Amino acid sequence: MRTFRATLPRTGLLATAVALTALTLTACQNGTGTQDEGRSTTPAASSSDRSTAAQGTEAPGTGSDSGSSVAHGSNAASHTGTGTGTGKGKGSTGGATGSGTARGTSDTAPVLCNGANTRVTAQEVSRPLNHMLITVKNTGSRTCSLPYYPVLRFDEMQWAPGGFEESRPQAVVTLAPGESGYAGVRLSSADGSGENGTTGHRLTVLFQGRTPHSDGGPTAIVSLPAKGVYYDSTLTATYWQTNAADALTW
């Protein structure tokens, strides 16, 4: 009897285990039980969450979104610290490029040559007769330009001599630092046809600006021989030239 009682409970346990296994298999096939519990412990992302994630992924990758980001940064500059940093950073980068280009153009463009940045000398020459050569040397640190021709005034003369239009160069003469430009001056007519001849002891050279007969800046006082320089009503200067030979052609 003892042996029979010990065997009966063991048989019941095996039957119970078989029944539980059958229930477990049935639950898996019906999509419930353990599988449902696994799904419920990890919530699925909502549609709004997926939309947000997608937008965050696409923004840096599209040109339109990148441009929009810069614009928002600029608009938010006065409101938030982040916006200020982004807005100013973008603005200062663009501004630096624009202003840098402007300044570069301004710094490299020739200034006007005049009495403030040149040394001017005058020398009478033997050929052609009754001629004088004016030399202008750029003593400044920037390239300067010599538009048109020098306007000459001896002493307190009340009239302004003109220039030889035939001597106009194809381009305005420009002088790099240390370079020189030249103008030839016909002091008087060789055949004596000139009028009101007189001797000048003080010569002032006036520079023209970028438009004819405009003020080009400070004048230059040029030393003359002690005996002075004779001139008459035919006094005329050439346009500025790059070499002395061209300046003495007229």
What residues contact 160, with CB distance under 8 A and at least 6 apart?
A: 151, 153
In this predicted structure, what is the pLDDT of residue 54? 38
Higher pLDDT, 218 or 96: 218
Structure tokens at 144: 């300067």
Q: CB of 116 within 8 A of CB of 218?
A: yes
50 by Cβ neighbours in 10 Å (0-12 / 13-18 / 19+) ranks as: exposed
pLDDT of residue 250: 85
Better-predicted residue by pLDDT, 201 or 67:
201
Q: What is the pLDDT of residues 36-95, one digit of tens each?
A: 444 444 444 444 444 443 344 343 334 334 333 333 333 333 333 333 333 343 443 343
Q: Is pLDDT above 70 for 200?
A: yes
pTM (two decimals):
0.58
CB atoms within 10 A of CB 194: 17
Cα 115 from Cα 144, distance rounded (Å): 12
Give the pLDDT of residue 102: 39
- Specify the residue for token string 């992924």: 57
* Interatomic CA distance for residues 123 and 223, integer angstroms: 9
Tell me which residue of 174, 180, 175, 172 sits closest to 137, measured CA to CA: 180
* Confidence at residue 108, expressed as pLDDT on a 0 to 100 scale: 80
Task: Give percent of the chain with pLDDT exceeding 90.
Answer: 54
User: pLDDT by residue (tens digit) across 138-150?
Assistant: 999 999 999 999 9
Strand extents, DSSP E, 111-166: 111-112, 118-125, 131-138, 144-146, 151-154
Paired with 72 in beta bridges are none
Q: State pLDDT tens for residues 112-138.
A: 999 999 999 999 999 999 999 999 999
The better pLDDT of the pair 235, 9 is held by 235
- Quote the pLDDT of residue 106: 60
Q: In sequence order, which residues have a C-beta less than 8 Å from that of residue 101 and are 6 or more positions away?
A: none
CA–CA dist 224, 207 (Å, integer): 19
105, with CB counted inside 10 A (0-12, 13-18, 19+), is exposed
What integer is the mean pLDDT of 163-189?
A: 97
Does residue 187 carry a pLDDT above 70? yes
- Give pLDDT, residue 63: 39
Q: pLDDT tens digit string along 142-174?
A: 999 999 999 999 999 999 999 999 999 999 999
